[in-house]
């Protein structure tokens, strides 16, 4: 019990430190000059949390809605639309913003995709870690339970830049989505203290019962 609770406490400390380091990286890279996305934009880690800009045209039939996204206590979707980069065969996924569920749920609301060439600016991020998928079918039409770049490439037959751009200016009727790597650090610290307290309690009980001699 002592070993288990100590291990769980150290794991929570590590998760908190990982998030804090990611936030520090975002703060540092967001002050750097924007990167222009093109045919060759480098690996995901080199782009992560950098300010980026891209020019191209939206691929309307590639738009998907990632379900179970919370904004100020309300459930909704992240609207993900691929942008075909100008002068390239590649595309980049753009998180155009959040929209609440409507009466038609589980179908997503109607979100228009502008035509013509556009320029997008935002922060390069990675899709969130995989969350629980509510059924064996993780994709239902254009509604996805999790966003995976390799899965999207395979399903849509597109070659993608290996990041998702969080648009600085959300689409019409959408709320901006912001990257917050340190979200939940305080919770990890609370959980770590809880596990360490349980370890201390288990150790104290072990000592007490080890020293206790039953009456003869």
Render pLDDT for 123-174 as a digit per residue (tens, 0 to 9): 999 887 665 555 545 678 899 999 999 999 999 999 999 999 999 999 999 9
Please write the tens of the pLDDT for every residue from 106-123.
Answer: 999 999 999 999 999 999
pTM (whole model) above 0.85: no
- Residue 8's pLDDT band (boundaries 50, 70, 90)? confident
Q: From CA 36, how far away is CA 28, in angstroms rounded?
A: 18
| pLDDT reported for residue 136 | 47
Question: 76-90, 158-172, 177-191: which range is least confident on average?
Answer: 177-191
> Which sequence spans correspond to the domains of the chain?
32-181
Q: Which residues contact 167 (CB under 8 A, 6 or more apart)?
A: 94, 95, 96, 97, 120, 121, 122, 176, 177
Reduced to 3 states (helix: H, G, I; strand: E, B; else coil), residue 171 is: coil
Which residues, in sequence order, are bridge partners of residue 65? 79, 143
| pLDDT reported for residue 3 | 87
- Residue 58's pLDDT band (boundaries 50, 70, 90)? very high
């Amino acid at each position: 019990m002592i070993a288990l609770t100590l291990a769980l406490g150290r794991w929570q400390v590590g998760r908190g430190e990982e998030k804090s380091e990611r936030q520090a990286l975002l703060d540092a890279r967001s002050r750097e000059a924007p990167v222009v996305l093109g045919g060759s934009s480098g690996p995901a880690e080199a782009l992560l949390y950098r300010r980026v800009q891209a020019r191209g045209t939206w691929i309307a039939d590639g738009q998907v809605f990632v379900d179970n996204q919370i904004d100020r206590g309300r459930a909704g979707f992240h609207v993900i639309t691929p942008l075909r980069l100008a002068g390239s065969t590649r595309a980049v996924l753009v998180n155009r913003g959040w929209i609440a569920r409507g009466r038609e749920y589980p179908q997503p609301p109607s979100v228009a995709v502008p035509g013509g060439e556009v320029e997008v600016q935002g922060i390069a991020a990675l899709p969130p870690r995989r969350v629980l998928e509510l059924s064996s079918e993780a994709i239902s039409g254009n509604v996805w339970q999790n966003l995976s770049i390799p899965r999207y490439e395979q399903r849509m037959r597109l070659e993608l830049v290996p990041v998702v751009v969080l648009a600085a200016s959300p689409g019409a009727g959408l709320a901006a989505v912001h990257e917050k790597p340190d979200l939940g650090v305080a919770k990890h610290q609370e959980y770590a203290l809880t596990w360490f307290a349980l370890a201390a309690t288990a150790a104290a009980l072990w000592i007490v019962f080890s020293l206790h001699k039953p009456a003869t």
